[in-house]
Amino acid sequence: MSVKTGKRGRPGQLSAERIVSCARTMMVESGKVPSIRGLSTELSVDPMAIYHYFKNKSALLEAVCISLVEAIHEPQGQDWQADIRALCRSYLTLLSGHPGLLNTLLSMSAPGPAQVFIERYERALQPLGLPEAVLVNSRDLLADYLHGYALAMEASDGALCLDALDGPLSFWLQAVSRAGADTAA
């Protein structure tokens, strides 16, 4: 009787971190989310081994996206406008460096990746003491603008760069600054 050998089970070197790292690398190289089968081939493991660490592909996708989004700017708390500028630039840099990430983020039902941005956004604007409605509306407006900007950057084949963000972002910063002044008055 012959026994099949090859990739089986959960090899000792496999971990959730290694799976996420490999998926991130494959995503950068291909511009799309890797399949479980493709990921398992790259890791030289049985596809079921990945399910030991992630209950389904959505859970893996959320972990990959969170690990990517966690690289965006952490507010320093000294200058809210500089923090927002840095947050926006780092977010757009992340999206442009990972083709397909924006579509993946927008198609996800899990709140994890968005929550990373939201927490950093709110931390940056905390000195203004904005009412909740203003905070949410300004965040939604900025996020929608950044997503549109990322799509325009992708479609422009390099003609649109991050520097063109400065004018519209300055306008947004002035509006939020006025909202903060109105709240304080």
Q: What is the CATH number of the domain that holds 21?
A: 1.10.10
**Residue 65 amino acid letter:** C
- Report the amino acid identity of residue 120: R
- Angle CA 38–39–41, to nearest 5: 65
Question: Model pTM greater than 0.85?
Answer: no
Q: Are residue 75 and residue 42 in the same domain, yes or no?
A: no
**With 60 as the cut, is the pLDDT of residue 58 above it?**
yes
Same domain membership, residue 92 and residue 33: no
In a domain, 151, yes or no: yes
Count of CB atoms situated within 10 Å of the CB of 105: 20
Quick: pLDDT tens for 153-180: 989 988 999 999 999 999 999 999 998 7
Give 89-137 pLDDT, tens digit per residue. 999 999 988 877 888 888 887 787 889 999 999 999 999 999 999 999 9
- Shared-domain flag, residues 91 and 176: yes
Q: Do 166 and 87 belong together in one domain?
A: yes
Residues 163 and 94 in one domain: yes
Same structural domain, 32 and 90: no
Farthest CA pair distance, the chain? 84
- Examine the domain organization and report whether 127 and 48 are in the same domain: no
User: Is 106 found in the same domain as 164?
Assistant: yes
- The total of structural domains in the chain comes to 2
Distance CA 48, CA 136 (A): 41
Report how far residue 46's alpha carbon sits from residue 33's, in angstroms, rounded to the nearest whole number: 18
Nearest alpha-carbon partner for 143 in 96, 64, 77, 87 = 87
Residues 158, 103 share a domain: yes
Return the pLDDT at 5: 43
Q: Is the pLDDT of residue 10 over 60?
A: no
Q: How confident is the model at residue 185 (pLDDT cuts 50, 70, 90)?
A: low
Q: Which residues have C-beta within 8 Å of that of residue 123, sequence separation ≥ 6?
A: 75, 77, 83
Same domain, 23 and 93: no
The answer on 101 and 28 residing in a single domain is no
- DSSP sequence for 68-81: HHTTSPPP-SS-HH
Structural domain for 82, as ranges: 71-184
